[in-house]
Amino acid sequence: MRVFACPHCAHVVQFESTSCVNCGTALAYDPVARTIARADGGAGAPCANALVAACNWLAPAPGALCASCRFTRTRPADGDAAGLAGFALVEGAKRRLLFELSELELPLARWDERDGGLGFDLLSSAYEPVVTGHADGIVTIDLAEADPVHRERLRVQLGEPYRTLLGHLRHEVGHWYQTVLVAPGSEREEACRRLFGDERADYQAAMSRHYAEGPPAGWREQFVSAYATMHPWEDWAETFAHYLHVNDALQTAAAWGVRVSGPPSAVTSAEPLQSDPADAERGGDLSERLEAWIPLTLALNAVNRSMGVEDLYPFVLGPAVQRKLTFVDQLVRAGTPRGVHN
């Protein structure tokens, strides 16, 4: 995330700000200029979800939804107070997700723009069984996940080191980007199979095996998380989510002038990787960014422990995981193959 300044007094304001803490100017996020603007500055009107989803984005016209809210296909009914509380939290995480996707200039097409476009069904499992997941462009989120007590209980039950709404969204959108960035029958698909495994493996059987037996011994050598061991699709989605974690957190650190250089002995650099010659022009390949990321996470984890809280980034990125992240990075930078872009 970038750091934003109040357009009136230049005080630091946040991506979520609706007013300046210093001068009180009413603020909104302008998704076209990708900046925080005056709410009444003429760049747009308040989003129709301003109250119900605590949305601070500008919409093109009064009464319209903003560019983020329009990605939501299904939301809780007006009378569903519990569902709406979760809805606002998921929409907040989704705005961060969409900001990062636009910063990365990843292709985006909405569910109502084309078949298989990206959309979100935000559903309450209080009324019907809801499984968080992705199918044909639609990401389904169980709004119960917005309740921190429920989410923490699941996190402990599943033995996960990290479980957040933003993490869910990054994982699920990763499934969609696999369909967008890796065309069937392409060279990319073969390269993807060499790294992540053959995605034609029976998913139901893989899921049953995973929940019966757990991850294979020594999985940390090859996978970023235990869940990634379940099936090649999940390995891709977990890797993609981590790519977004790393990219966003490094952008934030750079925006605030945070750079960690030591202790040098703790820094494990990425293995030499085959990189695209054009990478240098685009600001360094991923191995350079991981060289900044790994000491940063070690330092921030140490700071968190000083405060008696869990590690900020409770993951280890071994050489095999770094190769997978590099592959994702190359696809993200190369963009969409011709003909798929929308």
Positions touching Zn ion (CB under 5 A) are 6, 8-9, 11, 20, 22-23, 25, 47, 49, 55, 57, 66, 69, 234, 237
188 or 210: CB nearest Zn ion? 210
Distance CA 324, CA 222 (A): 9
Angstrom distance (rounded) from CA 299 to CA 50 = 37
Residue with Cβ nearer Zn ion (45 or 273): 45
Residue 58 CB, shortest distance to Zn ion, in Å, is 9
Given the DSSP bridges, would you call strands 119-123 and 138-142 parallel, antiparallel or unpaired?
Answer: parallel
In angstroms, give the least distance from the CB of 242 to Zn ion.
Answer: 13
CB closer to Zn ion, 134 vs 323: 134
State the minimum distance, in angstroms, from the CB of residue 72 to Zn ion: 9
Q: Which is nearer to Zn ion, 8 or 289 (CB)?
A: 8
Residue with Cβ nearer Zn ion (16 or 291): 16
99 in Cβ contact with 34 (< 8 Å): yes
Q: Is residue 325 within 8 Å of residue 246, measured between CB atoms?
A: yes
Other C-beta atoms within 10 Å of 272: how many? 7
**Nearest distance from C-beta of residue 217 to Zn ion, angstroms:** 23
Cis status of the peptide bond prior to 263, with omega within 30 of 0: yes
DSSP 224-271: SSSGGGS-HHHHHHHHHHHHHHHHHHHHHHHHTT------GGG--PPP
Q: How far is the CB of 104 from Zn ion (least distance, A)?
A: 20
Residue 206: count other Cβ atoms within 10 Å of its Cβ: 17
CB of 90 vs Zn ion, minimal distance in Å = 12
The H-or-E segment that residue 45 falls in is strand 45-46
In angstroms, what is the minimal distance from the CB of 71 to Zn ion? Answer: 10
- Closer to Zn ion at the Cβ: 228 or 260? 228
Tokens of 220: 């940390």
The long-range contacts involving 122-125, CB below 8 angstroms and separated by at least 24 positions, are: 122/72, 122/74, 122/75, 122/76, 122/86, 122/87, 122/90, 122/91, 123/74, 123/76, 124/76, 124/80, 124/82, 124/83, 124/86
By beta-carbon proximity to Zn ion, the closer residue of 140 and 287 is: 140
Rounded Cα distance between 242 and 225, Å, is: 10
Question: How far apart are CB 80 and Zn ion at their closest, in Å?
Answer: 19
Q: Which CB atom, from 240 or from 313, has the smaller least distance to Zn ion? A: 240
